[in-house]
Amino acid sequence: MPELVDSQQLAESLPPRTRGVIALLEENCTVCMLCARECPDWCIYIEAHKETTPPSGPGGRERQRNVLDRFAIDFSLCMYCGICVEVCPFDALFWSPAFAYSGDSLQELTHEAPQLRDWLAAVPAPPATERPLPLAGPPVAPSAGASS
């Protein structure tokens, strides 16, 4: 009989940047559609509409902006390749190590925006910036006796 694994113990044994689920920071999403276009499984569903904003001052022009109506990922199709996270130019998608989201039906594996936002809570903080390289000094002239 297979041994049951405690999910808490399993979570503690995983590397912090495990690809468990994808989290969405909705306010960073500009509806550019890059993630949905590049996803090899076509399992990102985005719906949006355009809104017109008035000119910011006299002589200005009206502007149009995209407003997100729906953002969902179907994790029954997702193959966890990470392309969507990599291509998002606005840091709206992140890997979260959360993995305990099995369900009784395939439909439960389609996570809508509020659920994708909930996964943000488990996203690890970004790594500290790498130690900067020392600034380059003035060019060093070759010594007089040096032969080439």
List interacting residues with ligand SF4 (CB under 6 A).
29-35, 39-41, 43-44, 46, 73, 78-84, 87-88, 90, 92-93
Q: Least distance in Å: CB of 67 to ligand SF4?
A: 12
Choice between 31 and 122, CB closer to ligand SF4: 31
What are the C-alpha distances in Å from 14 to residues 6, 11, 76, 119?
13, 5, 22, 16
- Cα separation, 81 vs 41, in Å, equals 10
Torsion of CA 75, 8, 14, 39, to 10 degrees: 10
Choice between 45 and 56, CB closer to ligand SF4: 45
Q: Least distance in Å: CB of 29 to ligand SF4?
A: 3
- 43 and 77 in contact (C-beta within 8 Å)? yes
Q: Least distance in Å: CB of 92 to ligand SF4?
A: 4
Choice between 11 and 34, CB closer to ligand SF4: 34
